Structure 1
Amino acid sequence: MSYVSTRDGRRNRRAVRRAPAVPARIDDLHGNSLGVLEVPHHMACGHASRRRYQLEDPAQLRQAYEQVLCEAAGCGEVEDLINPATLRRVWRDLHLPSRVREAWETRHPSLTAPAPTARRRIVRVTA
């Protein structure tokens, strides 16, 4: 069912069925890459401490980005909260619903580009 009934009988669209908010250009994103990211109340109901993420902590960073990409009500929120370089760096590590991942990768094929492999340098020592 794509709607959830509320107490007064109205039906609300759930974020699960809402189309993901995907900005036209990744370079339009201008979120911070360091410090604390506080997501809006509608993304994580509850006490403010449950809405704050330390971006230096890789686990909290991934959780915050997953939450924003799945729950953002519009592209403006995504642009304000997500950093483009950080998004590119952690993209492969994010656990996203397939519809969210597909929407982003369709609009931004560069996210699916293979990660550069580290080249090993072989040094031969001769005696």
Structure 2
Amino acid sequence: MKERRNKVLRAFAVLAVAGVLYGLITGWLGFGIPCPVHYFTGFKCPGCGVSRMFISLMKLDFKSAFEANRLLLVTLPVIASLLFVYFFRYIKTGSRKISKAENIIYLMLIILFLIFGIVRNCPGINW
């Protein structure tokens, strides 16, 4: 159990450091990773604005974070909870199995993000 816990903590530490460095670099240089969907099609994908959202959250600017990617900001607590349950179960038992209820929630999130990707590109809607 201790080994699994340390493995998960190391992975989270690497992600946290990479995220903070990315936030600092994009804050200084003023640009981030371009979205290939937006670049090639002109449409915003469901993930467009994620970098700006997280950078705004690091600055505690919730209004800008909401404007960058509304759906992800609103669903972030659900996604974080699902990830917490998954990693907690892995640390405790070593199991990477996902329950039927979790699968349903993941499927609902995927459908929600697909709908969001369509709606945010409708004329007259500025999401």
Q: TM-score, normalised by structure 1?
A: 0.26
More helix by share: 2
Higher strand share: 1
TM, length-normalised to structure 2: 0.26
